[in-house]
Amino acid sequence: MGVATYVKDEKDAIQEVILQSGIKVKPVYTPEDLEAVGFDYEKDLGDPGEFPFTRSLHPLGYRSRNWTTRQYTGFGTPEQTNERFKLMISHGQTGLNVAFDLPTQMGYDSDDPMAEGEVGRVGMAVDSLKDLEVAFKDIRLDRIGTGLTINAVASVMLAMYQAMAENFGYDRKRISATPQNDILKEIVGRGAWVYPVEPAVRLIGDVIEYAMKELPRCNPVSVCGYHIRESGCTPAQEISYAFLIAFAYIDNVVARGYRAEDFVGRFSFNLNVFGNLWETVAKFRAARKLWARLLRERYGVKDKKALFLRGIFGGGGSGMTKQQPENNIVRGAYYALAAALSGAQTTALCSFDEAYTIPTERAALLSLRTFQILMDEIGLRDTVDPLAGSYFIETITKQMEEKILEEMEKVEKVGGMVEAVASGYVQREVARQAYEYEKRLQEGQVTKVGVNRYTEGVDMEVELHEYNEAWASLQVERLRELKKNRDGRAVGRSLKALENAAREGLNVMPYLVTCSKEYATLGEMAGVFREVFGEYVEPGIF
Amino acid sequence: MDRKRIRVLLAKPGLDGHDRGAKVVAHALREAGMEVIYTGLHQTVAGIVNQAVQEGVDVIGLSIMSGAHVPICRKLTQLLKAEGVTDKIVVVGGVIPNRDIPVLEQMGVSGVFPGGTPFREIIRFIEENANGG
């Protein structure tokens, strides 16, 4: 992944270019190519802000709405995270995107033996509502939207977030949070799964159903093609898998008696930007169009806004290299450009120290500045969908659409996404491609600057984010304090009620909010689900 | 020369969910003729040692991307010593800063392969060092 395949002659002239999704790029495109793919302005593009939204979700694009910048942030204790949040906001960041440490993502408290060595390491540790109250102190929750990068126990975290906001005096109908809440992609590619597939998908459905009624400004799920692409799939597969995963969640909620129209407008996506620039732009344009079309066809969705493919396009983690790390600053700038040319609504960028660890303050700010330079200095807000009408871009956008549909068909043939994940079909497909890419990279068939070409030069030193084991002891100490001072019987009662709800198939969200307000810990709530649902057993597939 | 096939247990210890590297290396080792068992994610150190002994592998390969490689390797090498397991080598790959390599080697990790290490280097190392070399 990362780049296309090139066939060259002995004079280094390019004979053939094949994009990762399998599209062959021609040396020259003319109006005849548009004719050959059956391009039609009204049908394929439409004006910006009009169905099928290929060009943009909004009529004036970035003129009327600059994109939201949402760097992934969080480490150590809630105090440190609060400080970093405020720093990023003071430098012009317009949204938050919370990084949680692995124990939190996996539903373990900081004092759990499974948490050893990991507390506060790759994100902030959250054991209870208390920690969120510290992390979000003095942040205007009615003005800033917050991404919560958590999946298996997203229900618990969203409930805590609501409880925190209400304790601070906000109306829950006015807060905006986006829990990632996408468990199927965790099983395919990111690995922070806890519960077996079926109850895990039910929890996703519970969050969507609850948010539809009680948290109207929250986006209950952020479907991530991103991590599947990071794990090795092609851009076309990234979109097709993300759509099929989204359909699985829609089906879960539709089966509860709702219309897709009533909730799908709050879905969001998290998609990746690295790779061949043109393929990336074509991917996003094709994706916006297909999503709108498929929602109409499959679920009869009519409301215009419910057809929007909204989301965060960014990251680019696996394009970043450990070798010659300063090159990643430049890569990041091109990835950001790709996101802007693709009409990203919200964005975030992996920082140049991505291949080592979570970003230092300096690295995170540099990513933010990269966005600001694009939008405020060099003119990416000037006009909407600037590449529209290019013979090349429109041709490959059409071709990309076909490729995405082909990939969707392959999965549907093996029984749909839930089945394809449960059987390991998708994981095997992704791992095989990751291996083939790595092999081509090592054999020099794919160029990666500073890795397998142009490797000369001094090894650059990178200042790294340092982890401090004292944070863990502090966090454990605080948890002990909490358990001593809360009303233990009230906690016990609220957890018992949660357990009943989980067993009886009731929506667990209201019960989680009650538990949170009693200062039940994340590990206790997640533990109730472990008890009731059991744990996912991963087959050793590669 | 008919040597016994090298058996490798590739393990993902701890909570880290990044398994692309582990799976890619699993493919490469299998293609090089080794027998590879992949544990899947979220394994405990005790569970890994137990499985390595049960399966009678020659090599325990750990893939760690979360930054927790020092505490995890310390625990694993200590447990191997405590259980008197001496017939297996331990190799580690992942996001590992250069400065940590001597620390890991001192604990008894035989080979450290930071991300981006060519397959042939990993394969050669294992072929030369597993099974008494």
pLDDT at A4: 87
pTM of the model: 0.95
Closest chain B residue by Cα to residue A467: B67
Candidates A193, A231, A435, A452: best to mutate against B (most CBs of B within 10 A) is A435
Which residues of chain B make contact with A539, given a CB cutoff of 8 A? 40
Closest chain B residue by Cα to residue A106: B15
Closest chain A residue by Cα to residue B44: A114
Contact at CB, B68 and A118, closer than 8 angstroms: yes
Contact at CB, A355 and B37, closer than 8 angstroms: no
Contact at CB, A435 and B15, closer than 8 angstroms: no
Which residues of chain A make contact with B22, given a CB cutoff of 8 A? 542
Task: Name the pairing type of β-strands B59-64 and B7-11.
Answer: parallel
Of residues B79, B47, B25, the one with CA closest to residue A538 = B47
Computed over every residue of chain A, the mean pLDDT equals 95
The CATH number covering residue B86 comes to 3.40.50.280
Give the minimum alpha-carbon distance from B44 to chain A in angstroms, rounded to a whole number.
8
Interface of A with B (CB under 8 A): 102-103, 105-106, 108, 114-118, 121-122, 186, 189-193, 230-232, 318, 321-323, 355-357, 431-432, 434-435, 438-439, 442, 451, 464, 467, 538-542
How far is the C-alpha of A513 from the C-alpha of A498, rounded, in Å?
10
Candidates A118, A350, A428: best to mutate against B (most CBs of B within 10 A) is A118
* Residue A103 binned pLDDT confidence (cut-offs 50, 70, 90): very high
Contact at CB, A439 and B71, closer than 8 angstroms: no
Give the minimum alpha-carbon distance from B104 to chain A in angstroms, rounded to a whole number.
16
pLDDT at A244: 98
Closest chain A residue by Cα to residue B45: A114
pLDDT at A115: 93
Q: Which of B27, B66, B68 sits opposite A542 (nearest CB)?
A: B27
Contact at CB, A355 and B17, closer than 8 angstroms: no
**Mind listing the pLDDT tens digit of every residue in chain B (133 residues)?**
456 899 999 999 999 999 999 999 999 999 999 999 999 999 999 999 999 999 999 999 999 988 889 999 999 999 999 999 999 999 999 999 889 999 999 999 999 999 889 999 999 999 999 976 5
| Helical H segments across A414-487, by residue range | 417-422, 425-442, 470-485
Contact at CB, A322 and B114, closer than 8 angstroms: yes
B102, exposed or middle or buried, with CB in 10 Å at 0-12, 13-18, 19+? exposed
Give the minimum alpha-carbon distance from B34 to chain A in angstroms, rounded to a whole number.
14
Contact A460, A325 (CB under 8 A): yes
Contact at CB, A121 and B119, closer than 8 angstroms: no
pLDDT at A421: 92
How far is the C-alpha of A21 from the C-alpha of A237, rounded, in Å?
8
Contact B95, A355 (CB under 8 A): yes
Task: For A496-509, give one letter per residue: b (16+ CB within 10 A) or e.
Answer: ebbbebbeeeebbb
Q: Which of B19, B26, B95 sits opposite A355 (nearest CB)?
A: B95
Residue with tokens 């990178």: A462
Count: domains in chain B: 1
Report chain A's terminal Cα–Cα distance, integer Å: 17
Name which of A226-230, A304-308, A338-342, A444-448 the model is least confident about: A444-448
Contact at CB, B68 and A117, closer than 8 angstroms: yes
Question: A542 versus A499: which is more confidently predicted?
Answer: A499
Contact at CB, B40 and A467, closer than 8 angstroms: no
Closest chain A residue by Cα to residue B22: A542
How far is the C-alpha of A123 from the C-alpha of A135, rounded, in Å?
12
Q: Which amino acid is at A42?
A: E
pLDDT at A1: 40
Within-domain flag for B132:
no
Of residues A340, A317, A271, the one with CA closest to residue A67 = A340
Domain ranges of chain A: 1-66+317-403
pLDDT at B1: 45
* Residue A485 binned pLDDT confidence (cut-offs 50, 70, 90): very high
Mean pLDDT to the nearest integer, A350-374: 92
Contact at CB, B72 and A106, closer than 8 angstroms: no
Within-domain flag for B2:
no
Closest chain B residue by Cα to residue A537: B40
pLDDT at B131: 77
Q: Is the model's pLDDT at A428 over the cut of 60?
A: yes
Mean pLDDT to the nearest integer, A9-30: 95
ipTM above 0.90, yes or no: yes
Within-domain flag for B97:
yes
Contact at CB, A356 and B23, closer than 8 angstroms: no
Mean pLDDT to the nearest integer, A164-176: 98
pLDDT at A355: 84
Contact A480, A470 (CB under 8 A): no
Contact at CB, B116 and A323, closer than 8 angstroms: yes
Residue with tokens 């949040």: A85
Give the domain range for residue B50: 7-127
Which residues of chain B make contact with A353, given a CB cutoff of 8 A? none
Within-domain flag for B19:
yes
pLDDT at A401: 98
H or E element in which residue A205 lies = helix A197-214
